[in-house]
Structure 1
Amino acid sequence: MTSPKTVLITGTSSGIGLAAAIGTARAGWTTIATMRDTGKAEALLKAAEDAGVADRIQVKRLDVTDAAGVTACLDEVVAEHGRLDALVNNAGAAQVGTIEQSSLDDVRAAMEVNFFGVVAVTRAALPHLRASKGRVITVSSVGGAVGQPFNEAYCAAKFAVEGFMQSLAPVAATVGVDVSVVEPGAVASEFVANLGLDVPALLAAAGPYSPALDAYIKRTLQSFGNAQTPAEAAAPIVDALTVDRPPFRIQTSQWARDFVATTLADVDGSAVQTLTGSWVR
Protein backbone atom coordinates (compact mmCIF):
# COMPACT_ATOMS: atom_id res chain seq x y z
CA MET A 1 0.00 0.00 0.00
CA THR A 2 1.13 3.54 -0.69
CA SER A 3 1.83 5.46 2.51
CA PRO A 4 -0.19 8.65 3.09
CA LYS A 5 1.35 11.86 1.87
CA THR A 6 3.10 13.92 4.53
CA VAL A 7 2.82 17.68 4.96
CA LEU A 8 4.69 19.86 7.44
CA ILE A 9 2.96 23.07 8.55
CA THR A 10 4.61 25.78 10.62
CA GLY A 11 2.83 27.97 13.15
CA THR A 12 -0.09 25.68 14.01
CA SER A 13 -0.91 26.68 17.59
CA SER A 14 -3.78 28.94 16.45
CA GLY A 15 -5.46 30.70 13.53
CA ILE A 16 -4.80 29.72 9.93
CA GLY A 17 -2.08 27.23 10.84
CA LEU A 18 -4.34 25.31 13.22
CA ALA A 19 -7.17 25.29 10.68
CA ALA A 20 -4.83 24.18 7.89
CA ALA A 21 -3.55 21.30 10.03
CA ILE A 22 -7.11 20.10 10.66
CA GLY A 23 -7.95 20.57 6.97
CA THR A 24 -5.01 18.60 5.66
CA ALA A 25 -5.61 15.79 8.16
CA ARG A 26 -9.25 15.62 7.08
CA ALA A 27 -8.04 15.38 3.48
CA GLY A 28 -6.03 12.29 4.40
CA TRP A 29 -2.56 13.76 4.83
CA THR A 30 -0.19 12.78 7.59
CA THR A 31 0.17 16.24 9.10
CA ILE A 32 3.25 17.37 11.00
CA ALA A 33 1.95 20.34 12.94
CA THR A 34 4.83 22.43 14.23
CA MET A 35 4.99 25.33 16.65
CA ARG A 36 7.63 27.18 18.60
CA ASP A 37 6.07 26.28 21.96
CA THR A 38 4.43 22.85 22.07
CA GLY A 39 2.92 23.84 25.41
CA LYS A 40 0.39 25.74 23.29
CA ALA A 41 -0.75 22.62 21.41
CA GLU A 42 -3.90 22.08 23.48
CA ALA A 43 -6.25 23.94 21.12
CA LEU A 44 -4.95 22.04 18.10
CA LEU A 45 -5.14 18.66 19.82
CA LYS A 46 -8.71 19.32 20.98
CA ALA A 47 -9.73 20.43 17.46
CA ALA A 48 -8.12 17.27 16.05
CA GLU A 49 -10.05 15.09 18.51
CA ASP A 50 -13.30 16.88 17.72
CA ALA A 51 -12.68 16.42 13.98
CA GLY A 52 -11.76 12.75 14.39
CA VAL A 53 -8.29 13.22 12.89
CA ALA A 54 -6.03 13.02 15.95
CA ASP A 55 -4.34 9.93 14.55
CA ARG A 56 -3.19 11.89 11.49
CA ILE A 57 -1.63 14.84 13.34
CA GLN A 58 1.78 14.81 14.97
CA VAL A 59 2.91 17.87 16.91
CA LYS A 60 6.57 18.83 16.77
CA ARG A 61 8.51 21.76 18.14
CA LEU A 62 9.96 24.03 15.46
CA ASP A 63 11.33 27.53 15.84
CA VAL A 64 11.70 28.84 12.27
CA THR A 65 14.43 31.26 13.40
CA ASP A 66 16.68 28.37 14.54
CA ALA A 67 18.36 27.16 11.35
CA ALA A 68 19.99 24.11 12.95
CA GLY A 69 16.70 23.16 14.59
CA VAL A 70 14.88 23.52 11.28
CA THR A 71 17.22 21.09 9.53
CA ALA A 72 17.04 18.63 12.41
CA CYS A 73 13.23 18.73 12.42
CA LEU A 74 12.94 18.15 8.67
CA ASP A 75 15.43 15.28 8.78
CA GLU A 76 13.54 13.73 11.69
CA VAL A 77 10.22 13.93 9.86
CA VAL A 78 11.62 12.17 6.80
CA ALA A 79 13.34 9.53 8.95
CA GLU A 80 10.06 8.80 10.75
CA HIS A 81 7.67 8.96 7.80
CA GLY A 82 9.89 8.12 4.86
CA ARG A 83 8.87 11.16 2.83
CA LEU A 84 7.88 14.82 2.78
CA ASP A 85 5.34 15.77 0.12
CA ALA A 86 4.52 19.34 1.02
CA LEU A 87 5.57 22.27 3.15
CA VAL A 88 3.17 24.96 4.34
CA ASN A 89 5.07 28.02 5.58
CA ASN A 90 2.58 29.68 7.91
CA ALA A 91 4.49 30.86 10.99
CA GLY A 92 4.63 34.63 11.28
CA ALA A 93 4.32 37.60 13.60
CA ALA A 94 2.77 41.02 13.14
CA GLN A 95 4.70 44.20 13.88
CA VAL A 96 2.90 47.54 14.14
CA GLY A 97 4.78 50.82 14.03
CA THR A 98 6.39 53.42 11.83
CA ILE A 99 10.11 53.48 11.23
CA GLU A 100 10.96 56.72 13.01
CA GLN A 101 9.59 55.21 16.21
CA SER A 102 10.72 51.62 15.72
CA SER A 103 14.19 50.31 16.47
CA LEU A 104 16.26 48.50 13.89
CA ASP A 105 16.03 45.49 16.20
CA ASP A 106 12.22 45.62 15.84
CA VAL A 107 12.56 45.57 12.06
CA ARG A 108 15.16 42.80 12.09
CA ALA A 109 12.95 40.69 14.37
CA ALA A 110 10.02 41.04 11.96
CA MET A 111 12.22 40.04 9.04
CA GLU A 112 13.72 37.14 10.97
CA VAL A 113 10.38 35.44 11.64
CA ASN A 114 8.40 36.43 8.57
CA PHE A 115 11.10 36.21 5.90
CA PHE A 116 14.27 34.43 6.99
CA GLY A 117 12.22 31.77 8.79
CA VAL A 118 10.43 31.02 5.51
CA VAL A 119 13.75 30.88 3.67
CA ALA A 120 15.30 28.55 6.25
CA VAL A 121 12.42 26.05 6.30
CA THR A 122 12.05 26.08 2.51
CA ARG A 123 15.78 25.54 2.04
CA ALA A 124 15.78 22.56 4.40
CA ALA A 125 12.66 21.06 2.82
CA LEU A 126 13.63 21.32 -0.84
CA PRO A 127 15.85 18.21 -1.09
CA HIS A 128 13.00 16.12 0.31
CA LEU A 129 10.39 17.83 -1.88
CA ARG A 130 12.52 17.20 -4.98
CA ALA A 131 12.45 13.51 -4.13
CA SER A 132 8.65 13.47 -3.81
CA LYS A 133 7.88 16.03 -6.57
CA GLY A 134 6.16 17.98 -3.84
CA ARG A 135 4.89 21.48 -3.11
CA VAL A 136 5.77 24.61 -1.17
CA ILE A 137 2.74 26.65 -0.09
CA THR A 138 3.61 29.87 1.73
CA VAL A 139 1.06 31.93 3.63
CA SER A 140 1.85 35.51 2.72
CA SER A 141 -0.75 38.26 3.09
CA VAL A 142 -2.46 40.91 1.03
CA GLY A 143 0.25 42.92 2.81
CA GLY A 144 2.74 41.11 0.61
CA ALA A 145 1.27 42.89 -2.40
CA VAL A 146 -0.06 46.17 -0.97
CA GLY A 147 2.11 48.10 1.49
CA GLN A 148 0.02 49.25 4.43
CA PRO A 149 0.44 52.13 6.89
CA PHE A 150 2.10 51.32 10.22
CA ASN A 151 2.99 47.86 8.89
CA GLU A 152 6.29 48.83 7.27
CA ALA A 153 8.42 46.02 8.69
CA TYR A 154 5.70 43.37 8.36
CA CYS A 155 4.85 44.32 4.78
CA ALA A 156 8.54 44.56 3.88
CA ALA A 157 8.97 40.98 5.08
CA LYS A 158 5.91 39.76 3.18
CA PHE A 159 7.01 41.60 0.01
CA ALA A 160 10.38 39.86 0.42
CA VAL A 161 8.63 36.49 0.80
CA GLU A 162 6.66 37.02 -2.40
CA GLY A 163 9.73 38.15 -4.34
CA PHE A 164 11.68 35.16 -3.04
CA MET A 165 8.93 32.69 -3.92
CA GLN A 166 8.16 34.25 -7.31
CA SER A 167 11.84 33.95 -8.18
CA LEU A 168 12.12 30.41 -6.82
CA ALA A 169 8.97 29.08 -8.51
CA PRO A 170 10.30 28.63 -12.08
CA VAL A 171 13.55 27.13 -10.80
CA ALA A 172 11.79 24.72 -8.46
CA ALA A 173 9.45 23.70 -11.29
CA THR A 174 12.42 22.36 -13.28
CA VAL A 175 12.91 19.74 -10.55
CA GLY A 176 9.23 18.97 -10.13
CA VAL A 177 8.37 21.18 -7.15
CA ASP A 178 5.36 23.52 -7.32
CA VAL A 179 5.55 26.83 -5.43
CA SER A 180 2.57 29.00 -4.46
CA VAL A 181 1.80 31.89 -2.13
CA VAL A 182 -1.54 32.33 -0.36
CA GLU A 183 -2.71 35.88 0.37
CA PRO A 184 -5.35 36.20 3.11
CA GLY A 185 -6.98 39.47 4.02
CA ALA A 186 -8.31 40.08 7.53
CA VAL A 187 -8.71 36.83 9.45
CA ALA A 188 -10.48 36.52 12.80
CA SER A 189 -7.66 34.77 14.64
CA GLU A 190 -5.27 35.28 17.52
CA PHE A 191 -2.64 36.73 15.14
CA VAL A 192 -3.65 40.32 15.91
CA ALA A 193 -4.62 39.64 19.51
CA ASN A 194 -1.19 38.12 20.14
CA LEU A 195 0.37 41.53 19.52
CA GLY A 196 -0.86 42.58 22.93
CA LEU A 197 -1.11 46.19 21.80
CA ASP A 198 -1.84 48.85 24.40
CA VAL A 199 -3.64 51.24 22.06
CA PRO A 200 -3.81 54.24 24.45
CA ALA A 201 -0.10 53.90 25.20
CA LEU A 202 0.70 53.58 21.49
CA LEU A 203 -1.24 56.74 20.69
CA ALA A 204 0.34 58.62 23.57
CA ALA A 205 3.81 57.69 22.33
CA ALA A 206 3.09 58.34 18.65
CA GLY A 207 3.71 62.08 18.85
CA PRO A 208 3.18 63.69 15.44
CA TYR A 209 1.95 60.35 14.06
CA SER A 210 -0.84 60.03 16.65
CA PRO A 211 -3.73 61.28 14.44
CA ALA A 212 -2.71 58.99 11.58
CA LEU A 213 -2.24 56.01 13.90
CA ASP A 214 -5.61 56.62 15.53
CA ALA A 215 -7.33 56.65 12.13
CA TYR A 216 -5.46 53.52 11.07
CA ILE A 217 -6.36 51.57 14.22
CA LYS A 218 -10.04 52.49 13.94
CA ARG A 219 -10.12 51.40 10.29
CA THR A 220 -8.27 48.15 11.10
CA LEU A 221 -10.57 47.20 13.96
CA GLN A 222 -13.52 47.72 11.65
CA SER A 223 -12.00 45.52 8.94
CA PHE A 224 -11.37 42.70 11.40
CA GLY A 225 -15.03 42.89 12.39
CA ASN A 226 -15.81 41.53 8.89
CA ALA A 227 -12.94 39.06 8.75
CA GLN A 228 -12.82 35.54 7.37
CA THR A 229 -12.69 32.66 9.81
CA PRO A 230 -9.38 30.77 10.00
CA ALA A 231 -11.09 27.75 8.41
CA GLU A 232 -12.23 29.86 5.46
CA ALA A 233 -8.73 31.24 4.98
CA ALA A 234 -7.15 27.80 5.31
CA ALA A 235 -9.41 26.07 2.77
CA PRO A 236 -7.45 27.37 -0.27
CA ILE A 237 -4.27 25.96 1.28
CA VAL A 238 -5.76 22.47 1.32
CA ASP A 239 -7.04 22.98 -2.23
CA ALA A 240 -3.56 24.05 -3.39
CA LEU A 241 -2.14 20.81 -2.05
CA THR A 242 -4.56 18.65 -4.00
CA VAL A 243 -5.20 20.29 -7.40
CA ASP A 244 -3.12 19.17 -10.36
CA ARG A 245 -1.29 22.47 -10.86
CA PRO A 246 -1.91 25.21 -8.30
CA PRO A 247 -1.53 28.83 -9.43
CA PHE A 248 1.40 30.79 -8.04
CA ARG A 249 -0.72 33.46 -6.33
CA ILE A 250 -3.87 32.47 -4.43
CA GLN A 251 -6.17 34.87 -2.57
CA THR A 252 -8.51 33.53 0.11
CA SER A 253 -11.56 35.72 -0.65
CA GLN A 254 -13.04 37.95 -3.29
CA TRP A 255 -12.13 40.97 -1.16
CA ALA A 256 -8.51 39.84 -1.12
CA ARG A 257 -8.54 39.33 -4.91
CA ASP A 258 -9.91 42.81 -5.48
CA PHE A 259 -7.44 44.34 -3.04
CA VAL A 260 -4.38 42.64 -4.54
CA ALA A 261 -5.60 43.53 -8.03
CA THR A 262 -5.24 47.19 -7.04
CA THR A 263 -1.48 46.90 -6.87
CA LEU A 264 -1.01 44.48 -9.74
CA ALA A 265 -2.61 47.00 -12.13
CA ASP A 266 -1.05 50.08 -10.50
CA VAL A 267 1.92 50.86 -12.74
CA ASP A 268 2.79 54.24 -11.18
CA GLY A 269 1.69 53.45 -7.61
CA SER A 270 -0.90 56.20 -7.41
CA ALA A 271 -3.92 53.92 -6.93
CA VAL A 272 -2.41 52.22 -3.89
CA GLN A 273 -1.29 55.54 -2.39
CA THR A 274 -4.76 56.99 -2.81
CA LEU A 275 -6.34 53.91 -1.22
CA THR A 276 -4.03 53.48 1.77
CA GLY A 277 -3.70 57.23 2.27
CA SER A 278 -7.40 57.31 3.08
CA TRP A 279 -6.75 54.95 6.01
CA VAL A 280 -4.67 57.49 7.94
CA ARG A 281 -6.84 60.59 7.49
Structure 2
Amino acid sequence: MSSKVALITGTSSGIGLETAVAAARAGWTTVATLRDPDRAGALRAAADRAGVPLDVRRLDVTDPASVTAAIEGVVADHGRLDALINNAGAGHVGTIENETVEDVRRVMEVNFFGVVQTTKAAMPHLRAAGGRLITVTSVGGVIGQPFNEAYCAAKFAVEGFMESLAPVAARLGVTVSVVEPGAVATDFVDNIGLDVTKVIAAAGDYAEPLQGYVERTLGQFANSAQTPEQAAATVVEALTTERPPFRLQTSEWARDFTGTKLADHDGSAVLALTGGYLG
Protein backbone atom coordinates (compact mmCIF):
# COMPACT_ATOMS: atom_id res chain seq x y z
CA MET A 1 0.00 0.00 0.00
CA SER A 2 2.90 2.38 0.66
CA SER A 3 3.53 2.58 -3.10
CA LYS A 4 0.05 3.98 -3.75
CA VAL A 5 -0.23 7.75 -4.10
CA ALA A 6 -3.25 9.90 -3.20
CA LEU A 7 -3.61 13.61 -3.91
CA ILE A 8 -6.09 15.55 -1.76
CA THR A 9 -7.24 19.12 -2.38
CA GLY A 10 -8.26 21.63 0.29
CA THR A 11 -6.25 20.26 3.22
CA SER A 12 -5.60 23.41 5.27
CA SER A 13 -8.33 22.52 7.79
CA GLY A 14 -11.39 20.41 8.54
CA ILE A 15 -12.23 17.31 6.54
CA GLY A 16 -9.34 17.78 4.12
CA LEU A 17 -6.75 18.02 6.88
CA GLU A 18 -8.08 14.98 8.71
CA THR A 19 -8.39 12.98 5.50
CA ALA A 20 -4.76 13.67 4.63
CA VAL A 21 -3.58 12.47 8.04
CA ALA A 22 -5.86 9.42 7.99
CA ALA A 23 -4.82 8.42 4.47
CA ALA A 24 -1.16 8.63 5.44
CA ARG A 25 -1.89 6.61 8.56
CA ALA A 26 -3.55 3.99 6.34
CA GLY A 27 -0.28 3.61 4.44
CA TRP A 28 -0.83 5.82 1.40
CA THR A 29 1.79 8.20 0.09
CA THR A 30 -0.28 11.31 0.66
CA VAL A 31 0.07 14.56 -1.25
CA ALA A 32 -1.81 17.21 0.73
CA THR A 33 -2.51 20.29 -1.35
CA LEU A 34 -3.85 23.71 -0.49
CA ARG A 35 -4.18 27.07 -2.18
CA ASP A 36 -1.80 28.88 0.18
CA PRO A 37 1.11 26.81 1.57
CA ASP A 38 1.62 29.47 4.24
CA ARG A 39 -1.59 28.13 5.83
CA ALA A 40 -0.18 24.61 6.21
CA GLY A 41 0.82 25.03 9.86
CA ALA A 42 -2.16 23.16 11.31
CA LEU A 43 -1.79 20.41 8.69
CA ARG A 44 1.88 19.87 9.42
CA ALA A 45 1.26 19.91 13.17
CA ALA A 46 -1.47 17.27 12.84
CA ALA A 47 0.81 15.07 10.76
CA ASP A 48 3.58 15.44 13.33
CA ARG A 49 1.23 14.44 16.15
CA ALA A 50 0.12 11.39 14.17
CA GLY A 51 3.71 10.51 13.26
CA VAL A 52 2.99 10.34 9.54
CA PRO A 53 4.73 11.94 6.53
CA LEU A 54 2.88 14.28 4.16
CA ASP A 55 3.99 15.74 0.86
CA VAL A 56 2.53 19.26 1.11
CA ARG A 57 2.13 21.16 -2.16
CA ARG A 58 0.35 24.18 -3.60
CA LEU A 59 -2.76 23.60 -5.71
CA ASP A 60 -5.40 26.24 -6.44
CA VAL A 61 -8.38 24.50 -8.03
CA THR A 62 -9.48 27.75 -9.73
CA ASP A 63 -6.11 28.11 -11.52
CA PRO A 64 -5.69 25.62 -14.40
CA ALA A 65 -1.92 26.12 -14.50
CA SER A 66 -1.67 25.38 -10.78
CA VAL A 67 -3.73 22.20 -11.17
CA THR A 68 -1.66 20.93 -14.08
CA ALA A 69 1.64 21.75 -12.36
CA ALA A 70 0.62 20.02 -9.13
CA ILE A 71 -0.63 16.80 -10.72
CA GLU A 72 2.20 16.52 -13.24
CA GLY A 73 4.66 17.24 -10.44
CA VAL A 74 3.26 14.44 -8.31
CA VAL A 75 3.50 11.95 -11.15
CA ALA A 76 7.03 13.09 -11.98
CA ASP A 77 8.18 12.76 -8.37
CA HIS A 78 6.25 9.67 -7.27
CA GLY A 79 5.84 7.87 -10.59
CA ARG A 80 2.07 7.43 -10.34
CA LEU A 81 -1.25 8.74 -9.09
CA ASP A 82 -3.67 6.18 -7.66
CA ALA A 83 -6.33 8.42 -6.15
CA LEU A 84 -7.62 11.98 -6.40
CA ILE A 85 -9.75 13.23 -3.52
CA ASN A 86 -11.56 16.42 -4.49
CA ASN A 87 -12.20 18.17 -1.18
CA ALA A 88 -11.53 21.87 -1.82
CA GLY A 89 -14.62 24.05 -1.66
CA ALA A 90 -16.13 27.20 -0.23
CA GLY A 91 -19.44 27.85 1.49
CA HIS A 92 -21.85 30.61 0.53
CA VAL A 93 -25.10 31.98 1.93
CA GLY A 94 -27.37 34.22 -0.14
CA THR A 95 -30.44 34.50 -2.33
CA ILE A 96 -30.43 35.59 -5.94
CA GLU A 97 -32.42 38.82 -5.65
CA ASN A 98 -29.90 40.16 -3.14
CA GLU A 99 -26.71 39.13 -4.90
CA THR A 100 -25.18 39.31 -8.36
CA VAL A 101 -24.85 36.68 -11.02
CA GLU A 102 -21.10 37.14 -10.64
CA ASP A 103 -21.42 36.06 -6.99
CA VAL A 104 -23.01 32.84 -8.21
CA ARG A 105 -20.32 32.34 -10.85
CA ARG A 106 -17.60 32.57 -8.19
CA VAL A 107 -19.30 29.89 -6.12
CA MET A 108 -19.57 27.63 -9.16
CA GLU A 109 -15.94 28.28 -10.09
CA VAL A 110 -14.62 26.97 -6.77
CA ASN A 111 -17.10 24.22 -6.00
CA PHE A 112 -17.86 22.84 -9.47
CA PHE A 113 -15.34 23.92 -12.09
CA GLY A 114 -12.49 23.37 -9.65
CA VAL A 115 -13.58 19.74 -9.39
CA VAL A 116 -13.89 19.47 -13.16
CA GLN A 117 -10.40 20.91 -13.64
CA THR A 118 -8.65 18.58 -11.21
CA THR A 119 -10.61 15.56 -12.46
CA LYS A 120 -9.65 16.23 -16.08
CA ALA A 121 -5.98 16.60 -15.19
CA ALA A 122 -5.93 13.46 -13.05
CA MET A 123 -7.94 11.03 -15.19
CA PRO A 124 -5.14 9.82 -17.50
CA HIS A 125 -3.04 8.91 -14.47
CA LEU A 126 -5.96 7.32 -12.62
CA ARG A 127 -6.71 5.21 -15.70
CA ALA A 128 -3.09 4.09 -15.85
CA ALA A 129 -3.20 3.05 -12.20
CA GLY A 130 -6.71 1.59 -12.12
CA GLY A 131 -7.33 4.19 -9.45
CA ARG A 132 -10.03 6.01 -7.56
CA LEU A 133 -11.74 9.36 -7.97
CA ILE A 134 -13.40 10.51 -4.75
CA THR A 135 -15.22 13.81 -4.36
CA VAL A 136 -16.48 15.33 -1.11
CA THR A 137 -19.82 16.92 -1.95
CA SER A 138 -22.50 17.60 0.66
CA VAL A 139 -26.02 16.64 1.63
CA GLY A 140 -26.60 19.98 -0.12
CA GLY A 141 -25.73 18.19 -3.34
CA VAL A 142 -28.85 16.06 -2.90
CA ILE A 143 -31.33 18.40 -1.21
CA GLY A 144 -31.45 22.10 -2.07
CA GLN A 145 -31.61 24.27 1.03
CA PRO A 146 -32.86 27.83 1.58
CA PHE A 147 -30.33 30.63 1.11
CA ASN A 148 -27.88 28.07 -0.31
CA GLU A 149 -28.97 28.45 -3.92
CA ALA A 150 -25.54 28.92 -5.48
CA TYR A 151 -23.77 26.48 -3.15
CA CYS A 152 -26.34 23.72 -3.63
CA ALA A 153 -26.44 24.35 -7.37
CA ALA A 154 -22.68 23.77 -7.48
CA LYS A 155 -22.90 20.63 -5.37
CA PHE A 156 -25.85 19.32 -7.44
CA ALA A 157 -23.68 19.88 -10.51
CA VAL A 158 -20.81 17.94 -8.96
CA GLU A 159 -23.10 15.04 -8.09
CA GLY A 160 -24.55 14.97 -11.60
CA PHE A 161 -21.10 15.19 -13.15
CA MET A 162 -19.75 12.32 -11.07
CA GLU A 163 -22.86 10.15 -11.37
CA SER A 164 -22.63 10.52 -15.15
CA LEU A 165 -18.88 9.90 -15.24
CA ALA A 166 -18.94 6.88 -12.92
CA PRO A 167 -20.08 4.16 -15.37
CA VAL A 168 -17.80 5.50 -18.11
CA ALA A 169 -14.78 5.66 -15.80
CA ALA A 170 -15.55 2.17 -14.47
CA ARG A 171 -15.23 0.76 -18.01
CA LEU A 172 -11.67 2.08 -18.00
CA GLY A 173 -10.80 0.84 -14.52
CA VAL A 174 -11.43 3.96 -12.40
CA THR A 175 -13.79 3.80 -9.41
CA VAL A 176 -15.81 6.99 -8.79
CA SER A 177 -17.41 7.82 -5.42
CA VAL A 178 -18.99 10.86 -3.81
CA VAL A 179 -18.99 11.47 -0.06
CA GLU A 180 -21.87 13.49 1.41
CA PRO A 181 -21.27 15.09 4.82
CA GLY A 182 -23.93 16.89 6.80
CA ALA A 183 -22.99 19.45 9.44
CA VAL A 184 -19.33 19.12 10.39
CA ALA A 185 -17.75 21.03 13.27
CA THR A 186 -14.97 22.70 11.27
CA ASP A 187 -13.89 26.19 10.29
CA PHE A 188 -16.07 25.81 7.18
CA VAL A 189 -18.92 27.95 8.55
CA ASP A 190 -16.54 30.62 9.80
CA ASN A 191 -14.76 30.62 6.46
CA ILE A 192 -17.92 31.81 4.73
CA GLY A 193 -17.18 35.18 6.33
CA LEU A 194 -20.82 35.74 7.18
CA ASP A 195 -21.60 38.76 9.36
CA VAL A 196 -25.03 37.55 10.44
CA THR A 197 -26.28 40.83 11.87
CA LYS A 198 -25.18 42.81 8.82
CA VAL A 199 -26.56 40.32 6.31
CA ILE A 200 -29.96 40.13 7.97
CA ALA A 201 -30.15 43.92 8.27
CA ALA A 202 -29.51 44.20 4.53
CA ALA A 203 -31.88 41.39 3.52
CA GLY A 204 -35.01 43.53 3.09
CA ASP A 205 -38.09 41.38 2.54
CA TYR A 206 -35.96 38.27 3.05
CA ALA A 207 -34.90 39.22 6.59
CA GLU A 208 -37.45 37.15 8.50
CA PRO A 209 -36.94 33.84 6.65
CA LEU A 210 -33.17 34.42 6.66
CA GLN A 211 -33.26 34.90 10.42
CA GLY A 212 -35.12 31.60 10.76
CA TYR A 213 -32.66 29.81 8.54
CA VAL A 214 -29.62 31.18 10.38
CA GLU A 215 -31.01 30.25 13.80
CA ARG A 216 -31.80 26.72 12.68
CA THR A 217 -28.42 26.22 11.01
CA LEU A 218 -26.35 27.59 13.88
CA GLY A 219 -28.29 25.33 16.24
CA GLN A 220 -27.60 22.30 14.09
CA PHE A 221 -23.87 23.01 13.96
CA ALA A 222 -23.79 23.60 17.70
CA ASN A 223 -25.76 20.50 18.71
CA SER A 224 -25.42 17.74 16.14
CA ALA A 225 -22.35 18.36 13.99
CA GLN A 226 -19.87 15.57 13.36
CA THR A 227 -16.20 15.97 14.05
CA PRO A 228 -13.92 16.35 11.03
CA GLU A 229 -12.27 13.06 12.01
CA GLN A 230 -15.61 11.25 11.75
CA ALA A 231 -16.33 12.67 8.31
CA ALA A 232 -12.79 11.94 7.13
CA ALA A 233 -13.18 8.30 8.15
CA THR A 234 -15.86 7.90 5.47
CA VAL A 235 -13.60 9.47 2.84
CA VAL A 236 -10.84 7.02 3.75
CA GLU A 237 -13.39 4.20 3.60
CA ALA A 238 -14.03 5.15 -0.03
CA LEU A 239 -10.27 5.16 -0.57
CA THR A 240 -9.49 1.79 1.02
CA THR A 241 -12.61 -0.41 0.71
CA GLU A 242 -12.24 -3.03 -2.01
CA ARG A 243 -15.52 -2.13 -3.74
CA PRO A 244 -16.79 1.21 -2.46
CA PRO A 245 -20.30 2.32 -3.44
CA PHE A 246 -20.84 5.37 -5.60
CA ARG A 247 -22.54 7.38 -2.85
CA LEU A 248 -21.50 7.41 0.82
CA GLN A 249 -22.92 9.56 3.63
CA THR A 250 -20.78 10.37 6.65
CA SER A 251 -23.43 9.86 9.36
CA GLU A 252 -26.81 8.32 10.10
CA TRP A 253 -28.29 11.84 10.04
CA ALA A 254 -26.89 12.41 6.55
CA ARG A 255 -28.25 9.04 5.39
CA ASP A 256 -31.71 9.85 6.71
CA PHE A 257 -31.64 13.36 5.26
CA THR A 258 -30.54 12.38 1.77
CA GLY A 259 -32.91 9.41 1.88
CA THR A 260 -35.78 11.89 2.02
CA LYS A 261 -34.87 13.11 -1.44
CA LEU A 262 -34.00 9.76 -2.94
CA ALA A 263 -37.44 8.38 -1.96
CA ASP A 264 -39.37 11.59 -2.79
CA HIS A 265 -40.68 11.09 -6.31
CA ASP A 266 -42.72 14.29 -6.60
CA GLY A 267 -40.59 16.62 -4.46
CA SER A 268 -43.28 17.44 -1.88
CA ALA A 269 -41.49 15.87 1.09
CA VAL A 270 -38.29 17.79 0.42
CA LEU A 271 -40.07 21.14 0.11
CA ALA A 272 -42.08 20.50 3.26
CA LEU A 273 -38.84 19.71 5.09
CA THR A 274 -36.82 22.68 3.88
CA GLY A 275 -39.73 25.08 4.16
CA GLY A 276 -39.69 24.35 7.87
CA TYR A 277 -36.17 25.75 8.06
CA LEU A 278 -37.51 29.27 7.61
CA GLY A 279 -39.13 29.59 11.02
Q: In the alignment, is residue 37 of structure 1 matched against residue 36 of structure 2?
A: yes
Q: In the alignment, is residue 25 of structure 1 matched against residue 59 of structure 2?
A: no
Shift of 1:11: 0.1
State how 1:142-221 maps to structure 2 within 5 Å: 142-221=139-218
Is 2:2–2:27's contact at 8 Å kept on the other side of the alignment? Answer: no
Is 2:58–2:66's contact at 8 Å kept on the other side of the alignment? Answer: no
Is 2:60–2:66's contact at 8 Å kept on the other side of the alignment? Answer: yes
276 and 74 in structure 1: CA distance in 2 versus 1, 3 angstrom threshold: same
Which residue of the partner structure matches residue 130 of structure 1?
127
- Residue 34 of structure 1 aligns to a residue whose secondary structure is strand
Pick the aligned partner of 1:71 from 56, 68, 72.
Answer: 68
Which residue of the partner structure matches residue 245 of structure 1?
243
- Residue 147 of structure 1 aligns to a residue whose secondary structure is coil
Measure, in 2, the Cα distance between the counterparts of 1:108 and 1:156: 11
What is the one-letter code of the residue matched to 2:89?
G
1:97-146 CA-to-partner distances (Å, cap 9, x unmatched) read 00100111110000000000000000000000000000000000000000
User: Runs of at least 4 residues of structure 1 off by over 6 A?
Assistant: none
Measure, in 1, the Cα distance between the counterparts of 2:200 and 2:229: 33
Measure, in 2, the Cα distance between the counterparts of 1:235 and 1:162: 20
Q: Which runs of 5+ in 1 are unaligned?
A: none
Instruction: Identify which range, 62-71 or 213-222, moves more after superposition.
Output: 62-71
Q: Which runs of 5+ in 2 are unaligned?
A: none
1:9-67 CA-to-partner distances (Å, cap 9, x unmatched) read 000000000000000000011110000001100000000000000x2x11100000111
Identity %: 67
TM-score (norm 1): 0.98
Which residue of the partner structure matches residue 252 of structure 2?
254
1:194-242 CA-to-partner distances (Å, cap 9, x unmatched) read 1121111011000000000000000000110120000000001111111
TM-score (norm 2): 0.99
Instruction: Identify which range, 193-202 or 178-187, moves more after superposition.
Output: 193-202
Measure, in 2, the Cα distance between the counterparts of 1:243 and 1:13: 25
Is 2:143–2:270's contact at 8 Å kept on the other side of the alignment? Answer: yes
1:155-200 CA-to-partner distances (Å, cap 9, x unmatched) read 0000000000000000000010000000000000011111121111
Measure, in 2, the Cα distance between the counterparts of 1:196 and 1:162: 25
What is the one-letter code of the residue matched to 2:69?
A
Is 2:23–2:236's contact at 8 Å kept on the other side of the alignment? Answer: yes
- Residue 93 of structure 1 aligns to a residue whose secondary structure is coil
184 and 118 in structure 1: CA distance in 2 versus 1, 3 angstrom threshold: same
Number of paired residues? 278
Measure, in 1, the Cα distance between the counterparts of 2:266 and 2:15: 33
- Residue 169 of structure 1 aligns to a residue whose secondary structure is helix
Is 2:31–2:56's contact at 8 Å kept on the other side of the alignment? Answer: yes
Measure, in 2, the Cα distance between the counterparts of 1:152 and 1:161: 14
